[in-house]
Amino acid sequence: MKTTFLSAALLSLSATTSVAQQAFDATLTAHAELPAASFVPAPEGAPAHFNVSGRFTGPEGRVTDLYANVQDNGQALPFPGQPLQGFSGIRSLGEGRFLVLTDNGFGSKANSSDVILMFNIVRPDWDSGRIAIERTVRLSDPDQKVPFPIMNEASQGRFLTGADFDVESIQPVSDTYWIGDEFGPWLLQVDADGKVLQVLATEPGGTLMRSPDNAFVAAADPGASPAPEVITFRSGGYEGMALSEDQKTLYPLLEKPVWDAATGTQETVNGVPVLRLMEVSTETGEWGDRVRYYPLEAAGHAIGDFNLVDGTRGLIIERDNGEGDPREGWAETPAAFKRIYLVDLERTDENGVLEKIAYIDLMNIRDPEGVAPRGTIDGVFSFPFVTIENVDRVDQNHIVVANDNNFPFSVGRQQGRADDNEMILLEVGAFLNAD
């Protein structure tokens, strides 16, 4: 156990918890990136409309002229093709290959209707620092399994878009894939070609849960009480979703606390804000009755990803909403809290709250060999992105971590420059074996 490189600010945050947490060092061993403004063509059979994306990201709505909507970081929209970036879920496939999920496009239903949802198989070349795309799979609903009208309801291909779902987590199960969404929140099962097989509403213990973005939620008049089933916050759905070793159980984890109508505030356990962790059978699609809780270090935090890596032991990213390295001095709200926690599903208290066994600090990564092309100062590398949404174990001593670059809006790595998708390999053997 070490606390080398920990800042006083982070130490004060961890002191608010009731159980001392073990802090471990992480060492950067490899770095690769997919440049911002990386695109793929629209899939065959898609309407010509999808040859351009980003039309609806301007403050006044639709922008039709290419590159007319210029961002502060130099990126301009709309642009030809479909955005490849925005990695928001990862699984290591072995032999240097990774399954990565691209999120809904530009962050909301309103601005992402011209983005087709996809996931990719990628292979980073750690020597050259480049990321190769081996296969791109688009999501579609030709058999009308989605229970609400989709953006491409009347089109032949019925491709799914960022106005239909906000996909944030993915798990390969046999020859299919399960995907967690934030809008419903929904769970989708798709086949190897991305065709929807089923869509599950969130009903743990038989209780329906919906977000304000759910297609079946009617907007209330100003001042009216929300519908009782609206208890998850907008952009608070399934950011992480782990899979049991036998592939029989999914563990979807909400990004934000649910709304507690009884108290009129976010859900807490013994005064600590918590996130609900649920169970779903991959064999029957049925929700389990058991709910666990992940405790946040602060009410404004969120999680970025969740994967089981060894039996019931798993990794969860917890982060604040800051971006930019505080050591450089240019960010208005710099990143301060970006951690990966080790948990065990069988280690909870009497209320079902998970124990945080240990953590690594992504703002204080050792880089004595100068592996990183940017972000290392005095031998310390930081990962100062607002959304870090990918973590999985690669082998007994290494994990892979990647950011969602929120293209084209986020600026976390370098002042005035849109963020790339960065993938890093960390040596964390002691952390993975913490007890």
Is 130's pLDDT higher than 50? yes
With beta carbons less than 8 A apart as the criterion, state whether 343 and 354 touch: yes
Nearest to 158 by CA among 133, 183, 193: 193
Is 9's pLDDT higher than 80? no
Per-residue pLDDT tens digits for 166-225: 999 999 999 999 999 999 999 999 999 999 999 999 999 888 889 888 999 876 665 555
Chain centroid to CA 422: 14
Q: What's residue 225's pLDDT?
A: 57
**What CATH number does residue 64 fall under?**
2.120.10
Number of domains in the chain: 1
Does residue 46 form part of some domain?
yes
Is 396's pLDDT higher than 80? yes
**Nearby residues of 27 by Cβ (< 8 Å), 6 or more positions away:** 365, 366, 367, 368, 426, 427, 428
Six-digit token string for 329: 């001095």
Does residue 1 form part of some domain?
no
Does residue 205 form part of some domain?
yes
Q: Which amino acid is at 19?
A: V
Q: What's residue 21's pLDDT?
A: 82
Instruction: List, edge to edge, every strand of the sheet that includes 302-310.
Output: 22-24, 358-361, 338-344, 313-319, 302-310
With beta carbons less than 8 A apart as the criterion, state whether 371 and 27 touch: no
**59-68, 259-268, 310-319, range with greatest mean pLDDT:** 310-319
Does residue 54 form part of some domain?
yes
Cis amide linkage into residue 334, ω under 30° from 0:
no
Per-residue pLDDT tens digits for 253-299: 999 898 877 777 888 999 999 999 999 999 999 999 999 999 999 99
Does residue 3 form part of some domain?
no
Within 10 angstroms of residue 224's Cβ, the number of other Cβ atoms is 8
Q: What's residue 219's pLDDT?
A: 63
Higher-confidence position of 407 and 276:
276
Using only C-alpha atoms, what is the Rg of the chain? 21
Q: What's residue 3's pLDDT?
A: 33
Q: What's residue 370's pLDDT?
A: 97
Share of the chain above pLDDT 90, in %: 78
Average pLDDT rounded to a whole number, residues 389-407: 96
Is 227's pLDDT higher than 60? no
Q: Which amino acid is at 309?
A: V
Phi, psi of 48 (to 5 degrees): -60, -25
Torsion sign, CA atoms 316, 320, 323, 327: negative
Per-residue pLDDT tens digits for 75-107: 888 999 999 988 999 999 999 999 999 998 888
Is 339's pLDDT higher than 80? yes
User: Residue 100 belongs to what domain range?
Assistant: 8-432
Mean pLDDT over each residue of the chain, to the nearest integer: 91
Is 20's pLDDT higher than 70? no
Per DSSP, helices labelled H in 145-250 are: none
Average pLDDT rounded to a whole number, residues 54-61: 86
Is 17's pLDDT higher than 50? no
